[in-house]
Structure 1
């Protein structure tokens, strides 16, 4: 697999490494056991913007849920290059964002302050932090226990934390991503049960859990003074891991059969990890004419690890094409868009 999920202007950069998985003998959580150094993995951002109605509605719900929590408070947000949440809210006292790849093209309010770096054991602050916020960040952590302990240390007594994670259990049960969605960036398979356990074990009481469709799960927690190691409900996703992988291998074989004699241009949708998965599993790169993606930040670049240029989906408007669509939760939204651009598009899904 390519070691990064970024987009690049140089198609010849293709550092790769094998994905190595392990499973906890106690809670059965599946996770990576070999990591890419953070300084390499996140040497540049690929997440300045989030595109589409699904993400728009997610951030609207996230912001609506925390407005009362952040009123007149000092907030520390972990991991957001573009201040997507802070700029939607108001009435907070001070909003700090720790992030290694700030988007320098945005204009910030006076009470938003960036701290360039990683939230790790080297991070220290003398600021009074009332609330910690992070969105689709927890699944990226290399040591979830250490991360939560650090959050607990930074917060004032009875401080609160609000965060969102992808619904990885839905990904597993619906078989919409190989490896249960775990790869170099999403290092651990998270679900409600193991997140509950992690929070309680690291000094947090759970106030509320909110489901956003089948896309994300939002957690609201409060710092307490004790760590609780209660009985853990154990679900083993070992079989799902291999069932989904086998189905993806079958899908790749089907795609290769269809495109080997195709007389139309063939595109993959999404400059994302699902595309990297398909190519790593053997999808014939030489038969692919490019990658379609709605993010203008990615267009006219190359997906890291491959000599495949990224285009706006509008390129298929006057060009009847084949599009390979394997984008998990977003497939319905994307399919509707592609057929609106060109009803003659052949979609392999």
Structure 2
């Protein structure tokens, strides 16, 4: 596999680190019908930078990592309660145009739309499942260019930020497409 090698801290820009741990693991950790011999085995390598930031050093290309979707938060009463409460929080800001990054299963969107049927809701996700006609979908990974011309007054990403390879760039690009006061 051709890893994306992190040569500096994604948070601080530091270049000096010490490898903390390095081990192999199956890329897909879940139930599958596929043969164990067909598992993709990846090398997990964590480094610690002088600032104390612990980060992955070998990043798996996103098209491989999310080939089959992620679906975290899709099943269970606790997750349902999370989506309901998070939707209530988001909708307390009275948004009109919402962008959700990484909302593949659409549960948060559906909870928000229960609270405001006139809401314009867009999800950007590489593997959206169970698409809903009330939601605009952009199939792909978050890239500012894919959203040119679109202004949103609220951007949500639930349990997504920890998956972002370049967090500073991600936040800067969110700020650029977020409408004033959003």
Q: What is the TM-score with the length of structure 2 in the denominator? A: 0.76
What SS does structure 2 have at the residue aligned with 1:82?
Answer: coil
For residue 46 of structure 1, report the CA deviation from its aligned partner. Answer: 3.5
Query: Structure 1 residue 101 and structure 2 residue 127: aligned?
Result: yes
Please name the residue that 1:134 is paired with.
Answer: 157
Please name the residue that 2:14 is paired with.
Answer: none
Checking the alignment, whether the CA contact within 8 Å between 2:47 and 2:56 is kept in structure 1 is yes
What SS does structure 1 have at the residue aligned with 2:155?
Answer: strand
For residue 88 of structure 1, report the CA deviation from its aligned partner. Answer: 1.2
Q: What is the TM-score with the length of structure 1 in the denominator? A: 0.41
Q: Name stretches of at least 5 consecutive residues in structure 2 with no aligned partner.
A: 1-24
Please name the residue that 1:9 is paired with.
Answer: 33
CA distance in 2, matches of 1:84, 1:64: 13
Checking the alignment, whether the CA contact within 8 Å between 2:74 and 2:105 is kept in structure 1 is no
For residue 154 of structure 1, report the CA deviation from its aligned partner. Answer: 1.0
Checking the alignment, whether the CA contact within 8 Å between 2:122 and 2:136 is kept in structure 1 is yes
> What is the aligned-residue RMSD (CA, Å)?
2.0
Checking the alignment, whether the CA contact within 8 Å between 1:75 and 1:95 is kept in structure 2 is yes
CA distance in 2, matches of 1:49, 1:23: 29
Checking the alignment, whether the CA contact within 8 Å between 1:70 and 1:131 is kept in structure 2 is no
Greater Rg over alpha carbons, structure: 1
Equivalenced residue count is 154
Q: Name stretches of at least 5 consecutive residues in structure 1 with no aligned partner.
A: 160-349
For residue 55 of structure 1, report the CA deviation from its aligned partner. Answer: 1.5
**CA separation of 1:35 and 1:48: change in aligned 2, threshold 3 A:** closer
1:147-200, CA deviations, whole angstroms, 9 ceiling, x for partnerless residues? Answer: 1111111111221xxxxxxxxxxxxxxxxxxxxxxxxxxxxxxxxxxxxxxxxx
More helix by share: 1
